[in-house]
Structure 1
Amino acid sequence: MEKMSIMEEGSLKKVLIITGGSRGIGAATARLAAQSGYAVCISYLRNKAAASAVVDEILKAGGEAIALAADVSVEAEVVRLFEQVDEALGAVTALVNNAGVLEEHMRVEQMDAGRLSRVLSTNVIGSFLCAREAVRRMSSANGGAGGAIVNVSSAAARLGSPNEYVDYAASKGAIDTFTLGLAQEVAAEGIRVNAVRPGVIYTDIHASGGEPDRVDRVKGAVPMQRGGTAEEVANAILWLLSDEASYSTGALLDVAGGR
């Protein structure tokens, strides 16, 4: 694959890893990031065709992108993902922890340990592991040049998602706390850590919960009276990654139409 070298002012190449980047918010973020001058790595779990389609779109527009398979809940696969990016694109300067899973709507009393393990392993442990690898490369304490991390949380962290997916909501509550703690831990090392909390957004994750049309059902509860788009969330993510947000760290930015 022919690659185009993309450089920032000061000759630091901007390299972004987006986990779960083959669809929805992740794919929209990948496209926008490439337009903004990032060399992008999309990680995906199973849907190689979808990830490759996003990469092809970026390459045709003159950007630089690759897609790599990785299960972020597996430590060895996360380590391998970052090592492959080191070799293919260079040192990571930005990370978007977007990979997440949602399972069928049910009450807590119906959930088994297997489901809880799957949701928390991907949504929480995966974000920790990816952030760990990013900090090891970005931190000035480790000889890095700094960077930015954006965690994709959810308005569910504030609302609890009763009768639907309290486990998913709890995992995103953990992401909020993780964002606050890590932001303070690495603030003096040149790394900013923030989160976006999307509300009801038109993506296919709702099908995983058993209700593909959920956004249309609940949008009446949104003050703006509509669901959001993946591109609207991507715009917020790119702002938090950018120098325009240079004094923002530990922020939880709601992109939820006022809900």
Structure 2
Amino acid sequence: MNGSSGTLDGAVVAVAGAAGPAGRATLLKLADAGATVVGADADPERLAEAVSAAQDAHGGATVVGDTVDLLDLGATRAWAERVEKDFGRVDGLVHLVGGWRGGPSFTKTDLADWDLLEKLLVRTVQNTSLAFHEGLMRSDRGRYLLISAAGASKPTAGNAAYAAAKAAAEAWTLAMGDQFRKSGGEDGPAAAAAILVVKALVHDAMRAERPQAKFAGFTDVKELADAIAGVWDRPAREVNGNRLWLTEKP
């Protein structure tokens, strides 16, 4: 893919958790749509690979990476400030920090799983939303996008910790959306916080590892990336404070 489709021309979008398969697909899509893309991840080597792949695919695009500890609010605020200082604006934060732990049953839940998932799935949402809120408010098309799972709305016995963490992240994001709504007054929100909901994600390496698997209801990371970029095509009033379902509602 070379060139740009232009739907995000001039926009600056930060991607948290940019080194994983969904992050890589999102870097590629946002660059293709014309955005300047700033990826962050805790793994510098994987982040460098993801950024390099996006740069190679889009010779004219600006794609950069920054190793950031998103569990540290101060470090996350500093990252948000750098993005806006370096590029003059910030128009989006896409939250792709993931993680999963589960157990065989509800009573066999290991609370150490919650300790981990609370950090990965909740604290990183809290820190990125607080750090980027003001910058997104200064944008004419600010978007905060959380990627969540259908299990948050219909938890299963063995996924109590995961579903509870996802539900908490959703609630936090919707609260941010309410702030955007209130700040917009009668004119409606200028920025939007929204949740893209999937059953689970699948990518080419997973298919190669399990060629017989159906992955029924899963969302391909490329389709997710398309949906992420597409949020900027819709008015803030339409998407703010909403769950955008990419799978069937449970």
- Is the contact made by 1:93 and 1:148 (CA closer than 8 Å) also made in structure 2? yes
For normalisation by structure 2, the TM-score amounts to 0.81
Corresponding residue of 1:50:
46
Amino acid at match of 2:247: A
Q: Could you tell me whether the CA contact under 8 Å between 1:152 and 1:197 is conserved in 2?
A: yes
- The TM-score normalised by the length of structure 1 is 0.78
State how far apart, in whole Å, the 1-side matches of 2:204 and 2:41 are.
15
Question: Helix, strand or coil: the match of 2:75?
Answer: helix
Over aligned residues, Cα RMSD in angstroms? 2.9
Deviations 1:4-51 (A, max 9, x none): xxx999xx94111111111222221111011111111111122x2322
Q: CA deviation at 1:145?
A: 4.5
Are 2:89 and 1:78 aligned?
Answer: no
Distance 1:152 1:44, change over 3 A: same
Q: Counterpart of 2:237 in structure 1: which amino acid?
A: Y
1:15 matched to 2:6? The reply is no
In the alignment, which of 112, 115, 125 is matched to residue 114 of structure 1? 112
Q: Which region of structure 1 is more displaced relative to structure 2, 76-85 or 90-99?
A: 76-85
**Residue in 2 aligned with 1:244?**
234
User: 1:228–1:257: 8 Å Cα contact kept in structure 2?
Assistant: no
**What count of residue pairs does the alignment treat as equivalent?**
233
2:191 corresponds to which letter in structure 1? I
Q: Give the fraction of aligned pairs with identical amino acids, expressed as a percent.
A: 17
Structure 1 stretches of 5 or more lacking a match? 1-6, 207-211
Cα distance in 2 for partners of 1:114, 1:84 equals 34
**Structure-to-structure mapping, 1:1-259, within 5 angstroms:** 13-46=10-43, 48-60=44-56, 61=58, 62-140=60-138, 145=140, 147-163=142-158, 165-187=159-181, 188=184, 190-203=190-203, 216=213, 219=216, 222=217, 227-240=218-231, 242-248=232-238, 249-256=240-247
Structure 2: gaps spanning 5 or more residues? 1-5
Amino acid at match of 1:230: V
Which shows bigger deviation, 36-45 or 96-105? Answer: 96-105
CA 1:257–1:251: 2 relative to 1, 3 Å:
same
Shift of 1:87: 3.8
More moved, 117-126 vs 48-57:
48-57
Alpha-carbon distance in 2 for matches of 1:217, 1:120: 30
